[in-house]
Amino acid sequence: MLACTSFAIAFVGISQATQLGMSPVKQPLYLLGTAGDEDEIQIMDVPFVTFCSHPEWIFDAICSSFRPPIDRNTQAVHDVRNVNLASLYKISVSGERKVIKALNEQGKEELKVTDDIEAIVDASKAVVPESYPFKVEQVVDAVVSCVKLMFPDKPDEERKLEIKVRLPSGKLIDYSEYSKAKDEEASKNEKSES
């Protein structure tokens, strides 16, 4: 009995020190095998447990696997596994607060951590899993949408969000360039089909 009490006290001490918490996080989800005319990526809130600092944990959470709870009847007929497309397509996101050079009160240059966020969506190891209908580019766009939803725009003086994409070739580009290149490619394909 004493051992149980000691364990409980130790556990309470650890949980208070780490500030364990649960928060919703946006993930790009798709349930393989769903009936429908159109395959659609759904961006939904899922629960995520962490004791890490903000905002870094959010980037890991967007790409963490997620297996939704299911009822017994469904479980007997269908094996529901990971439904997070970012995880399934091996796309990751990293990010941190930006560090800039700024002048201190004495006029000397020093490094300063800002509230601005720099996120990198890494598709350099991306693969399309068997039987999945989406292109890597579609899943990258969905992951970027999740990042934007988790870090909504604020006035320029408060916080900026900068998103970059690491392409399968390894090249790192700004997301606006990625979107533009994708749109140009789609336009070329439409013209060649005409």
Reported as type and span, the H/E element at residue 16 is: helix 2-18
* 193: pLDDT strictly greater than 80: no
Closest CA to 131 of 86, 74, 88: 88
DSSP string, 138-153: HHHHHHHHHHHHHS--
pLDDT of residue 156: 67
Across the chain, mean pLDDT equals 80
pLDDT tens figures, 125-166: 999 999 899 999 999 999 999 999 998 767 767 778 889 999
Segment 37-43 mean pLDDT = 82
* 194: pLDDT strictly greater than 60: no
The residue whose two tokens read 């004495």 is 106
Q: At what angle do helices 136-150 and 175-193 cross, to 10 degrees?
A: 140
> Does the N-terminal peptide bond of residue 68 adopt cis geometry, omega within 30 degrees of 0?
no
User: Any idea what DSSP says for residue 156?
Assistant: T
Rounded Cα gap, residues 37 and 134, in angstroms: 14
Rounded Cα gap, residues 76 and 46, in angstroms: 24
Q: Where are the domains of the chain?
A: 23-189
Region of 99 please: left (phi>0), alpha (psi -120 to 50) or beta.
beta
